[in-house]
Structure 1
Amino acid sequence: MSSIFRWILLGLFTLVCIFFLSNIRNAFLSTQPDQIRVAIGPDTSIQKISEQLPGSQVLNEKTGLLSVPYGKSWDYIGKTLSIKGIFRANTVPLEHPIISWRYYGYSLKEQVKGFAQGDFGKFRSPFNRKEVAVLGELPNMLLRTCTYFIPGLLLAIALSVLFAMTASMFRRLGALMDGTHALLVGLPDFFLIVLIQLGAVYATKYLGHFVLLIVQVGDKTPFLIPFLTIALIPSVTIYGTLRIAIARELGQDYVVTALAKGLTRREVLVSHVMRNVMADLLAILPKATTLALASMAVAEAICGISGLGGFIVSPALQSVSSMSAICMALALVAMAFHVFYALLRKKFIVRTGEVV
């Protein structure tokens, strides 16, 4: 029970840290958080405008400078759009960007208030530019991401186990696979995605018909590109771990004894070695899943997919109010996989120790 309580505390601490880090951009200011500048027509005055904006005060009538409550500059700019006689409203730029921990703390406080009231932020849809509540869209984003993330991760595990076993059975083929593994270890995931996209473009050009969807269009979501990316990157990590683990087991006495009794190398690998490297496989799966999530985020961003990872990485969505909620949702997905792996280790891995 104490172990479960400790892991729950660790999970909560992780979510809190993600919440703080996902809002770190608010610590960097390039505009005044408590001032706006308005351009008005000849039929009104800056004083009349100020009277229609409760909490504002005139700082400079000639330049149309108004002071507003701290941190509310964008809210007040939105309010000015409904006031007749205002041509334009802008924020007031600072002479140079600054780090403001006061504004950072203010933004955290406002978000916590919103969370307490059930408001987890909004973002503008990239397709119709309408504001969408993240809580309503989150299930769709999660489903969209899982359609290729879970199959890709399962394929990565299956391929890495199969290739590691094959490389251990046939030494020459194993040397070729190890060389390919060494090459893929240094291959960036975005490079792989761009290669697949270029291949699809040239295939469509030469064949004269559509081959592969490379970006999201409406409700049509690319599947093959994120699927292959998620499958390849983690499988490289799992393959390397299993190759080392299998080589270690092949040098054990029980393998020598089994071979001496007449069992073939394949029979020893399948019946004995794979069972003993299960601990190594379950130990590397959390890291492989983290790599898969990172690759998924890059693939979604490049393909313009509105999934959990693409939402976080996409430059067009970096300043939305729902960023921290999406980051924490993605962290919960990662935690769910880690808990699942921990349960598998507890069920299938037998721990041994010396008796004192």
Structure 2
Amino acid sequence: MLGILMLGNLDKIFVKEASDRIYVTVKYDRDLETIMKKYEDTYVLNADSGLVEVPYGQTREYIRLLKKDPEIQRIGPMPIKPKIDVKNFVIEIRDQITGYTQGEYGTITYRNRPDRELPIDPQMEKMVARSFSYLIPALLTSIVAGFLLALLAVWLPKIGSVLDRINRLLLAMPDFLVVALMQMGAILLAMALRKKVLTIMQFGSDTPFLIPFLAIMLLPTALMYGAFRIAVTREWEEGYIKTAYAKGMSRPHVIIWHIMRNVTEDLLTALPRVVSVAITSLVVAEVMCGVFGLGGYAINPDLHKVTSLPATCAILACFGLLTHVLVAVLRRFLVVKTKEVA
């Protein structure tokens, strides 16, 4: 979590504005020093130029506060020569951690109102629901599809050869290219049918589902197929399969009660990597489709500034960590039983 906070605030270590000074211009019939006496911890350094000293690292807070004063005409930061400021970096992380303990997860600023910072908290629930509505179904589908395709590849070697080629192609293609091809296909299909077939970008409440879902599902499916392909091939050649057939067991019975049980460890080994890839695909799909979710909102063209990125990254990281915990629990209670039976 500390690593997420540090990476999310990496831009704060490079400063081009003074961390403890601002410029304040009051109305022509007002006195700057008199007005600033109303605000604690401030000191007028130069009344002619309007230079005011404020507590270190709180320039944005004082700018927001002073903008509400009707006696102040203009206010802004003090530009300085760009430099590395570790103290400012530490203070920003400290303030964010303090905000998290108070239920504040950061702000977003829209381009049409660059002077107004809006808390991300009211939209967080919708963002989580929107992103996980793709992520969880796509993960479950990729596991099932990967296993079924692996069975089909072993069962029918000619089809398996074709699936192996498709699998290598999918693993070689970058995520953004997959999404772009889907969007292009949806546009061409809409032009041919003269009506909208699929939503390819988010417009208001009209949010795309199929394209992000498929984009998140494809690469994890390819990874699961590769893992299951090796595992199912290995189990298919084991002697107990022939013994089971000799005892009169049907093929579905052998697949369900023997093969599926014995490839559980292969599934658990591949699952953490599959989840990581799915989260990466989620971010790419949401950015490409303009979806205002956990992965895509930070690069939304309508936003001017985002300070809530560490919080949303932490949510996705926690999902990945929970997957590792689930895998550890299942490995302890499921794989041991599997080995005993096998």
Q: What TM-score do the two structures reach when normalised by structure 1?
A: 0.82
Q: 1:325 to 1:215 in 2, by over 3 A?
A: same
Pairing 1:116-131 to 2, within 5 Å after superposition: 116-124=101-109
Aligned to 1:109: 94
Q: 1:264 to 1:178 in 2, by over 3 A?
A: farther
RMSD: 3.2
- Secondary structure at the aligned position of 1:308 is classed as coil
What one-letter code is carried by the residue in structure 2 that aligns with 1:100?
A: D
Which of 215, 223, 228 aligns to 2:209? It is 223
Pairing 1:55-204 to 2, within 5 Å after superposition: 55-84=41-70, 86-96=72-82, 98-124=83-109, 132-204=118-190
What do residues 107-127 of structure 1 show as CA deviations (whole Å, max 9, x unaligned)? 122223223333333335799
Pairing 1:1-356 to 2, within 5 Å after superposition: 15-84=1-70, 86-96=72-82, 98-124=83-109, 132-255=118-241, 272-312=258-298, 314=300, 319-350=305-336
Which deviates more, 114-123 or 267-276?
Answer: 267-276
The whole-number CA distance in structure 1 between the counterparts of 2:88 and 2:255 is 60
Question: By how many angstroms is 1:293 displaced?
Answer: 1.3
What one-letter code is carried by the residue in structure 2 that aligns with 1:103?
A: N
Instruction: Return 5+ residue gaps in structure 1 as ranges.
Output: 1-14
The whole-number CA distance in structure 2 between the counterparts of 1:272 and 1:304 is 45
Which deviates more, 180-189 or 140-149?
Answer: 140-149
Contact 2:262 / 2:338 at 8 angstroms: preserved in 1?
A: no
The whole-number CA distance in structure 2 between the counterparts of 1:315 and 1:99 is 28
Question: By how many angstroms is 1:28 displaced?
Answer: 2.3
What one-letter code is carried by the residue in structure 1 that aligns with 2:146?
A: S
The whole-number CA distance in structure 2 between the counterparts of 1:154 and 1:128 is 41
What one-letter code is carried by the residue in structure 2 that aligns with 1:336?
A: L
What do residues 101-154 of structure 1 show as CA deviations (whole Å, max 9, x unaligned)? 211111122223223333333335799998654444332222222222221111
Question: By how many angstroms is 1:52 displaced?
Answer: 4.7
Question: By how many angstroms is 1:256 displaced?
Answer: 6.0
Identity over aligned pairs, percent: 36
Q: Number of aligned residue pairs: give it.
A: 339
Question: By how many angstroms is 1:162 displaced?
Answer: 1.2
Q: What TM-score do the two structures reach when normalised by structure 2?
A: 0.85
What do residues 198-253 of structure 1 show as CA deviations (whole Å, max 9, x unaligned)? 22223223322222112222222211111111111111111111112223334444
Q: 1:174 to 1:287 in 2, by over 3 A?
A: same
- Secondary structure at the aligned position of 2:336 is classed as coil
The whole-number CA distance in structure 2 between the counterparts of 1:336 and 1:158 is 20
What do residues 328-350 of structure 1 show as CA deviations (whole Å, max 9, x unaligned)? 22222223333333333333212
The whole-number CA distance in structure 2 between the counterparts of 1:26 and 1:131 is 17
Provide runs of 4+ in structure 1 moved above 6 Å.
125-130, 259-267, 351-354
The whole-number CA distance in structure 2 between the counterparts of 1:318 and 1:345 is 45
Question: By how many angstroms is 1:23 displaced?
Answer: 2.8
Contact 1:297 / 1:313 at 8 angstroms: preserved in 2?
A: no
